[in-house]
Amino acid sequence: MQTPDIHVLAAGTALPGPALDNAALAARFGLNLAWRQWVDTFIGTDTRHLSIDLETGAQRYTLADLGEQAAERALAAAGLEPEDIDLVVMGTSSPDQLMPATANVIADRLGIDGVSIYQLQSGCTGAVQSLDIAERLLSTGRHRTALVLGGDVSAKHYSVQIDVTKMDPGQMVNGVLFGDGAGACVLSAEPRPGSPVLRHVRVRAVGLGRLPGQVVDYSGMAGPRGDQPLVVEDYKAIEESVPRMAAEMLHEVLGELAWKQDEVDYLLPPQLSGRMTALIAERLALPGAEEITCVRETGNTGNALPFFQLEMLLPRLKDGQRAVGVAIESSKWIKAGFALEAV
C-alpha cells in the first residue's frame, strides 16, 4: 500500500522563566561546593528552567502556557494559521489537570476547533509516540496537517519546603535532573521547499517482567502520603539499561530503513542528563554523525526534548542529509526512534 510522505515543516519550543544554574539552586537550598561538584560530575546538567517560583513553590507557568507558546512559534515558522491544522497530538506526563486534556486547552487558546485532538500520557518517549500517531493518521489521508506537541512541568511534583540537605542522593538527583518546557512541530502531507521527510517512527514497549524505572504518582482527595515523594527513580537500572536500549533502537531504525551507519549525518540521542547523554552518544558511536544535544542547558524536559533537538536540527539539515533520533523512557521501559531525510 503506497502512502504519502509526511514532512516536518517546522518546530518551536518554549521555556519558563530564566535559566537557573547550579549555583542558584545551591544558594536557594543551602547546598555546598561538594554538592555542586557532585552535580557537575554525576549529572552534568548546567542549567534548567522551572515552571514554579523557586522561593514559594507556586506554579508560575502551566503546561498550557508553555505548549501554547511553543505551538505559536512552530506555526509561525511553518507559515501556517491555526485553521490549517486538522489534527493535534500531544504527549505529556504532567498534564495541568486530568480533565480537560491540556491539548484541548491549548487548541482552544490557539483557535483550533472542530478537529481530532489526542493527548498521550507518556514520559521521555512521548514526543516520538505523538510523532508516530500523527504520522500514521496523516499517512492514511484523512488528515492533512498536524500540530504535534510535547511538554512537561515536572517541577510541580516537588516541594520546595523540604530540607534538601537531608535528602538522600537518589531523591536529590530529581531536583537537578529535570527542567520544564514544551515543544511543538508541524507535520504535513503537503511538502514545503526544504522540508525533510519523516522517514520512520518506531515505538516499542519492552517492560515485560521488569519493575518500572520511574514512577510518578499523584494524589486525589486523600492528598500525598506523608513525606513520601511522588517521583521515584531507579537510577541504577536506568544507567544499566538505557544505553543498551538506545543502541538497540538505533540499529532497529537503521535496519528497517536499510541505512548504513556512515549514512547518518545527525544523531539526536536521548537527553536524560549531560552525563548520561554523553555516555549514550559514545555507545551509539555513529561515525561522521554530528550530535544534537541540549540537555546541559535545558535539563531533562521529558516530552518536550525531541522538539528542542528538532528545532536545532531543521536549519542545519541540507538536501540529501539524514538524521536519526532516539528516546528511551524508563517508566515501564519503552524505546523509541525516528528518522528524517531532507530530499
Residues of this chain that interact with its own copies (CB under 8 A) are 1-3, 57, 88, 93-95, 97-101, 104-105, 107-108, 111-123, 129, 132-133, 136-137, 139-142, 156-159, 203-210, 212, 214-224, 229-230, 331-332, 334
Angle, CA of 178, 26 and 154, to the nearest 5°: 20
CB of residue 258 to its own copies, shortest distance in Å: 17
Cell of 308: 528542542
29 vs 118, beta carbon nearer its own copies: 118
Q: Are 174 and 295 contacting, i.e. CB atoms less than 8 angstroms apart?
A: no
112 vs 313, beta carbon nearer its own copies: 112
Q: How far apart are CA 25 and CA 20, in angstroms?
A: 7
Q: How far apart are CA 272 and CA 111, in angstroms?
A: 34
Q: How far apart are CA 176 and CA 172, in angstroms?
A: 7
Of 147, 125, 155, 159, the residue nearest 62 (C-alpha):
155
CB of residue 71 to its own copies, shortest distance in Å: 15
CB of residue 212 to its own copies, shortest distance in Å: 5
- In the block, which residue shows the cell 523540604? 162
Pairing of strands 266-268, 322-329: parallel
CB of residue 197 to its own copies, shortest distance in Å: 16
Of 328, 284, 336, 276, the residue nearest 302 (C-alpha):
328
34 vs 221, beta carbon nearer its own copies: 221
One-letter identity of residue 234? D
Cell of 112: 483550533
100 vs 191, beta carbon nearer its own copies: 100
37 vs 97, beta carbon nearer its own copies: 97
Q: How far apart are CA 167 and CA 173, in angstroms?
A: 10
231 vs 343, beta carbon nearer its own copies: 231
CB of residue 229 to its own copies, shortest distance in Å: 8
- ω into residue 270 within 30 of 0, thus cis? no
One-letter identity of residue 184? A
Pairing of strands 145-152, 87-92: parallel
CB of residue 108 to its own copies, shortest distance in Å: 6
Half-sphere exposure of 110 (CA within 13 A, CB side): 35
CB of residue 194 to its own copies, shortest distance in Å: 26
Q: Are 160 and 54 contacting, i.e. CB atoms less than 8 angstroms apart?
A: yes
CB of residue 186 to its own copies, shortest distance in Å: 18
36 vs 204, beta carbon nearer its own copies: 204
25 vs 342, beta carbon nearer its own copies: 25
CB of residue 82 to its own copies, shortest distance in Å: 10
272 vs 292, beta carbon nearer its own copies: 272
